[in-house]
A and B are shown apart, each in its own frame.
Chain A
Amino acid sequence: MVSLRKGGPVTVRATPIIGVIRHFRLSLQLNFRSPQAIVYGYLVPVLFLVAFGSVFRAQIPPLLDQMGQLLTITIMGGACFGMPTALVAERERGIWRRYRLLPVPMGTLVGSVMASRVILVASAALMQVGLARLLYGTPLPAHPVQAACGVMVVTICFLGLGLLVAALADDVPAVQALGQCLFLPMIMLGGVGIPLAALPAWAQRISGFMPGRYAVDVLQRAYGGAQGRPLVGFSVAALAVIGAAGTIAGSRLFRWDTARTLSRASWAWVALALSAWLAVGLCASVTGRLEPVAPSAGGYGRVTEAEIDGVSYDLLPGDQEFVSRLSRPFGKGASMEGLDAFAGQLKDWPPSHESDEAQSARNLLCVAGIADVSEDPHEGEIARLVFDDLRERYGDRRLEQILTWIILYPAKGAAVTSAPELGLPHRFREDIIRERTVLYAKKFLGRLRGRIAD
Chain B
Amino acid sequence: MAPAPMPASVRVADLARRYGSVEAVRGVSFDVPSGEIFGLLGPNGAGKTTVLECLLGLRRPDSGSVSIAGMDALANPRGARHLVGAQLQGATLQDKITPRQALGLFASFYSNGPGAAAMIDRFGLAEKADAPFATLSGGQRQRLFLALALVNDPSLIVLDEPTVGLDPGSRRGLHDMIRAMRASGRTVILSTHDLGEAESLCDRVGILDSGRLAAVGSPSSLIARAGTFSRIQFTTAVPAQASEIVSLPGIVECALEQGTWVLSTSDLNGTMVALVGLMASRGYALQDLQVSRPTLEDAFFSLAGRAWSASERGGP
Contact = CB atoms under 8 A, between A and B. Distances in A.
A121 to B, nearest CB: 20
A87 to B, nearest CB: 12
A257 B155 contact: no
A23 B105 contact: yes
A104 interface: yes
A30 B109 contact: no
Contacts of A10: 69-71, 79, 83
A5 B184 CA distance: 10
A287 interface: no
A257 to B, nearest CB: 7
**Chain A contact surface mostly:** loop
Contact of A4 (B9, B88, B96, B110): B9
Given A4-B9, A94-B88, A95-B92, A102 B106 contact: yes
Given A95-B93, A103-B78, A18 B108 contact: yes
A16 interface: yes
Interface in A1-35: 1-2, 4-7, 10, 12-16, 18-19, 21-23, 26, 29-30, 33-34
B78 A14 contact: yes
Contact of A100 (B9, B58, B93): B58
Contacts of A23: 105
A15 B155 contact: no
Given A5-B155, A26-B101, A15 B94 contact: no
A97 B89 CA distance: 10
Interface string B208-245: 00000000000000000000000000000000000000
Interface in A78-114: 90, 93-95, 97-98, 100-105
A14 B111 contact: yes
A7 B108 contact: no
Given A22-B108, A103-B110, A30 B156 contact: no
Contacts of B101: 26, 29
Given A22-B105, A30-B97, A101 B58 contact: yes
Chain A CB within 10 Å, residue with most, of B56, B110, B112: B110
B202 to A, nearest CB: 20
Contacts of B186: 5
Nearest to A2: B82
Contacts of B155: 2, 4-5
A15 B106 CA distance: 12
B31 to A, nearest CB: 15
Contacts of B88: 94, 97-98, 101
Nearest to B7: A7
A94 B104 CA distance: 19
Contact of B96 (A1, A6, A30, A105): A30
B109 A19 contact: yes
A14 B78 CA distance: 9
B209 to A, nearest CB: 22
B90 interface: yes
Which range holds the interface residue count of chain A? 35 or more
B9 A22 contact: no
B78 A5 contact: no
Nearest to A257: B58
B185 A15 contact: no
A103 B185 contact: no
Given A10-B70, A22-B105, A22-B108, A4 B83 contact: yes
Contact of B109 (A15, A94, A97): A15
B205 interface: no
Contacts of A100: 57-58
A12 B111 CA distance: 9
A1 B111 contact: yes
B22 interface: no
Contact of A34 (B81, B96, B111): B96
Chain A CB within 10 Å, residue with most, of B92, B101, B109: B109
Contacts of B105: 19, 22-23, 26
A94 B185 CA distance: 29
A7 B8 CA distance: 10
Contacts of B156: 4
A101 B34 contact: no
B2 interface: no
Nearest to A15: B111
Contacts of A15: 108-111
A83 to B, nearest CB: 15
Interface string B30-58: 00001000000000000000000000111
Contact of B58 (A6, A18, A21, A97): A97
8 contacts: A4-B69, A10-B70, A16-B109, A29-B101, A30-B96, A93-B94, A95-B94, A102-B106
Interface of B: 7, 9, 34, 56-58, 68-71, 78-79, 81-84, 86, 88, 90-94, 96-97, 101, 104-106, 108-112, 132, 148, 152-156, 185-186
Closest 8 CB pairs of A and B: A4-B155, A19-B109, A94-B91, A33-B96, A19-B108, A103-B81, A4-B69, A12-B82
